Structure 1
Amino acid sequence: MRISTRCSCRLLAPALVAVLCVTALTACKGESADAKAKDAAADTSVPVEVEAAARRSISASYTGTATLEPDSEAQVAAKINGVLLKLLVEEGDQVKAGQLLARLDDENPRLNLAKAEASLRKLEND
């Protein structure tokens, strides 16, 4: 059996065209996947501002909500009633035992003492 060159070229040409089409479609499909990946990356990008580097002072801060518990705490109660004249410490300040925390108006207790002493003298004289 003899195969002519013409016949094999006729069969080879359509096969070659088919292989080239499949290769081209595969390449296009790969490019569209790359394009989709680039679009997805562009969608997840975060906008930023660019500025020249310079020395400046900084301040660190944190904003949030949380429950805070102290290492230790003390209950402070007044022994007498009175009008507060001056508060010497603020909430959160460290204090020592016996430290003066506030100044109260002592006029009413002095007047009450003077009245009690006068009543006592009167009772003693009677």
Structure 2
Amino acid sequence: MNTYRPTNRFAAVALLSMLALPISACSDAGANNESAVDIQQTQVARIPVATQTVMAGEITSSFKSTATLEARDEADVTSKATGIIETILVEEGDYVEAGQLLAHMRDDEYRIQVAQARAELNSIKQELKRVKDMAERDMISADAYDKLRFQAEILQAKYDMAALNLAETEIRAPISGYIAFRYVKPGNLVRH
């Protein structure tokens, strides 16, 4: 006879539950949760990348640096004459050739000095020519002739100096290059 006992039933359910727990621990349901976490971590670790079609072309490279640049040749341009700047023909940044006229000084006084020296020289040359003829005829002493000849040489040097001073009123570039700085303006006095 089969009698129904509630304790047997309770014991059977408890036994089945205990057996089911280890089996459910080995099931695939936990693996799904772990793989979902791995997928999320993989998605977070992904880096966005852009692609582009490869094309043939030139490659340029550049290099940035700091440095001090110095000119190969440099010249400070000054005047050998004293006077007032009348005109300036170049500005900062202009390129000039060697010998090019940069500025012109007022030259009135220098022109007068050249004219005066020329007149004195011409006068002494005329006098020297006349005295030379007299010295050849022994009408004048050799000493007087020599003094006049030395006087003519002095006046020639004076004329040459006046002509040089006049030429120095034109300020010219000593070398070819760019005008870096300009320190004078028209009307400024330049001293030798």
When normalised by structure 2's length, the TM-score is 0.33
Q: Which has the larger radius of gyration?
A: 2
Ranked by relative contact order (alpha carbons within 8 Å, sequence separation 6 or more), the top structure is 2
Q: TM-score, normalised by structure 1?
A: 0.46
